[in-house]
Amino acid sequence: MSVAFSEENQKEFERLLTRYPDREAVILPALHLVQQQYGDVTSEGIEYVAGLLGLSAARIEGVATFYTMYNRKPVGKYHVQVCRNIACSLLGAEHLIDHVSGKLGVKPGQTTADGKFTLAKVECLGACGTAPVMMINDDYYENLTAAKIDSILDGLK
């Protein structure tokens, strides 16, 4: 598969270049555009962004692997990311990860057989005040309990 922005994403990329005078500042939003268009950020996507920005692929790869928000392989229709940082951990995140894992029948890093759900443990979702939290695609779910998770996931099936 050859990576290239759609016409719409190309226009957005060009708009980003006018907004940020430093090309390094465009790395994150450019990677978001790749992920938005293809569902994940592959090595081809990294090479494409590197070429567009005139930066090394290693530099782009470093950014893409540092942040957990970039999917390095395809994920299910619903990407369930459960935070395991300190605030979430103190409020039972590991128990909730085990709960989600049991409910979906997959371990963190795996996708359900029907391709609908991918479960991931992530280091921080930046919502410590409402811990424990999880993110499904672009939506946050806060102050989680096992019952609340059941309700959320059942609503997605």
pLDDT the model gives residue 132: 98
pLDDT the model gives residue 1: 63
For range 103-125, the mean pLDDT: 95
pLDDT the model gives residue 131: 97
SS3 136: strand
Res. 67 pLDDT band, cuts 50 70 90: confident
Nearest alpha-carbon partner for 26 in 15, 37, 42, 39: 15
Q: Which two tokens stand for residue 101?
A: 């894992």
- The answer, yes or no, to whether residue 48 has pLDDT greater than 90, is yes
- The answer, yes or no, to whether residue 20 has pLDDT greater than 80, is yes
For range 89-100, the mean pLDDT: 97
- The answer, yes or no, to whether residue 68 has pLDDT greater than 90, is no
pTM metric for this prediction: 0.80
Cβ(76)–Cβ(117) below 8 Å? yes
For range 115-133, the mean pLDDT: 95
pLDDT the model gives residue 58: 97
Q: For residue 123, which phi and psi values (nearest 5 degrees)? A: -70, -40
Res. 21 pLDDT band, cuts 50 70 90: confident
Cβ(47)–Cβ(86) below 8 Å? no
Q: Which two tokens stand for residue 36?
A: 């938005």
Can you tell me which residue has the tokens 């430093």? 22
Output 68 or 41, whichever has higher pLDDT: 41
- The answer, yes or no, to whether residue 157 has pLDDT greater than 90, is no
| Distant-in-sequence contacts of 95-101, Cβ < 8 A, 24+ apart | 95/146, 96/132, 96/134, 96/144, 96/145, 96/146, 96/149, 97/121, 99/146, 99/149, 100/134, 100/149, 100/153
